[in-house]
Copies of this chain bind each other. A is one copy, B any other.
């Protein structure tokens, strides 16, 4: 017996939370109960049929007809890595736009592929600058790809994906786009953008549990994968093998054991998105953001990001002078079961991140968050006009 055999062994019962951080968002009981359906084999004809539906539903969510549209069997960071290791070879140059945590992670990925990352950096809280991205592409003719984050989860900023993908195409480069926080919350238009490799996460605006990374690849990207000079450095993420698995229909070639129940959950969350309709989901996120913003401003709180580049689903709120931001989050969690996010990197201690993603983008979330914030901030001596936040939000909600 190992040294820890005296530890208590009891089932884990999670506390009830309202998830309004940067993800995961609240998961609907329909999705949770789908995940509890009996496991079947990953080669069962019934399961293979469900995978085809997941592919169709992801094509709908991404607005694409790309045949290679799938869920990578890992979290968003595995999806990111799938894009880089398949498209980038040693010696390549990739222009990477960095305006937050996830752009930095892209740079790491490029370098670990043995390629050179040319960085276009913006201050955190600002969108990627198209002119500077274009200058980098011009200065590095033959760059293999332009990589950027559509919706920076660390700051709440949207960059111009259509414009950046068009730049890439014009310079003969592939585009690699992070839509982890955007898919399902704001327009993601893979085909209209002409994007080449796009990945997302299951636990943000799709409101599925974390652990899967929806991804889609253009025919041009598939051609690049098929004509590589070197083998993909990851066996697990090698698209030439995954194509045979996800694209094979009845003749699906065994690659790895799919995360069966997690895919039940993703399927259900996509069915719910389809029932609501993409445009309606985008509209709901925008509406809830307007209500939250009205409430925050009525309480004297300000958002970090300029309106033009502000994501509705991820609100970076400036911490007022003299307030201990960690204590506020701890009290929100302990008293009201409400989770909001901390700032990351250069924004640590300076902002809170309030998510309105998927099933967490509802009137009850907006009101609960504003009410809890008022309670906690008032308790700390902040001068909040009583009821101002919820009243302002209500007027937007009704």
Residues of A within 8 A of B (CB): 1-5, 7, 9-17, 19, 21, 23-24, 26-27, 30, 32-47, 50, 53, 56-57, 59-60, 63-65, 73-78, 80-81, 85, 105, 108-109, 111-113, 191, 201, 203, 209-211, 231-236, 254-262, 264-265, 267-268, 271, 274-275, 333, 339, 344
Contact = CB atoms under 8 A, between A and B. Distances in A.
A36 B41 contact: no
A209 B333 contact: no
A261 B34 CA distance: 12
Residue of A9, A32, A258 with highest tally of chain B CB at under 10 A: A9
B14 A209 contact: no
B63 A235 contact: no
A40 B15 contact: yes
B53 A7 contact: yes
A274 B91 CA distance: 50
Contact of A36 (B32, B210, B235): B32
Nearest to A359: B39
Given A4-B56, A39-B26, A211 B21 contact: no
A17 B34 contact: no
B7 A56 contact: yes
A267 B257 CA distance: 20
Copy number in this complex?
Answer: 2
Contacts of A112: 231-235
B40 A111 contact: no
A264 B53 CA distance: 26
A60 B8 CA distance: 12
Nearest to A81: B236
Given A44-B339, A211-B261, 13 more contacts: A2-B191, A3-B59, A4-B60, A17-B38, A23-B257, A27-B38, A45-B333, A73-B78, A81-B235, A105-B235, A113-B233, A209-B259, A211-B259
Contacts of A78: 73-74, 78, 236, 256
11 contacts: A10-B271, A11-B30, A11-B271, A23-B257, A27-B261, A32-B38, A33-B36, A39-B210, A76-B257, A77-B236, A211-B211
